[in-house]
Amino acid sequence: MKKDRKTIYEARAKIIKAMAHPSRLLIIEELHHQERCVNELTEMIGADTSTVSKHLSVLKNAGLVSDEKRGNCIYYNLRCTCILDFIDCVEEVLTANAEDQKNIMKACKR
Amino acid sequence: MKKDRKTIYEARAKIIKAMAHPSRLLIIEELHHQERCVNELTEMIGADTSTVSKHLSVLKNAGLVSDEKRGNCIYYNLRCTCILDFIDCVEEVLTANAEDQKNIMKACKR
DNA sequence: TGGCTATTTGGCTATATTGCCAAGTAGTTT
DNA sequence: AAACTACTTGGCAATATAGCCAAATAGCCA
């Protein structure tokens, strides 16, 4: 692979990888509705605070969320709302896959 | 996290994880232009055939590509073209990140 | 049949990710 | 200042991923 093409794909992969985790997808979806602090997200996810904090730092590092300290809490915000379209696309893939499964089942019954 | 919500996010994460690799992003983009066989992709990527074959099986397993044997080769096709919008969104994030970097640099010079 | 070509699979090592606990930091409240 | 709240960091073990080589499979060609 050409060097500059590789650089581009690596940069993209880093962003996508940051999304590629169930808890982080929850965070993304939640932050789309409203900003949240670590504590709130921790409760929703049901993992250790440190774990959630690390997930948030992965997202922040990828530039997907921003944080803002206000009062006692650090509030996290979603930076690019287009990410939600992204998830719509993923849903499309899942639906297509389910459709395939169904057809396979049908074929087996025959 | 509630069990059914967790299931949904795990399914989504699996799809996204399948995209989260430079070589696999190249494959996706390439297949968007035209179908390709393993050999062709292997050359473009410049890795071992077995490595590329495994990348393709990850993509196939996620339902992102389909394969079709014709003549001597197995041709791979992209199944959901919406994935390209997805990548547009990733580009948007990258641009925003670059913008941030630029502003930080500016601030430092002052 | 035997050798090709195209592709997949198994096995292995190196590396990365995840998640918990414990400890550290920082700002707030009493 | 001491205790408290909110969060991050370091460390560690378990697990997953990546990429190579070697070997297996499968269809084509002579």
pLDDT for B110 = 62
* CA trace torsion B56, B61, B65, B71 (10° rounding): 60
One domain for residues A58 and A90: no
Whether A63 and A99 map to the same domain: the answer is: no
pLDDT tens profile B4-15? 999 999 999 999
**Range of A10's domain?**
3-79
Residue pair A27/A59 in contact (Cβ under 8 Å)? The answer is yes
Compute φ and ψ for B34, nearest 5 degrees: -165, 160
pLDDT in tens, B22-71: 999 999 999 999 999 999 999 999 999 999 999 999 999 999 999 999 98
Same domain membership, residue A73 and residue A32: yes
Token pair belonging to A62: 């990828």
Q: For B10, which residue in chain A has the nearest alpha carbon?
A: A22
Q: Count up the domains in chain A and report the number.
A: 2
Token couple for B70: 């014709």
Start-end of H helices in A3-82: 3-19, 22-33, 38-45, 49-61
For residue B92, give the nearest of A26, A82, A87 by CB distance: A82
Distance A99 CA to C23 C1' (A): 50
Same domain, A75 and A86: no
Residue B57 sits in the same domain as residue B17: yes
Distance CA B15, CA A66 (A): 25
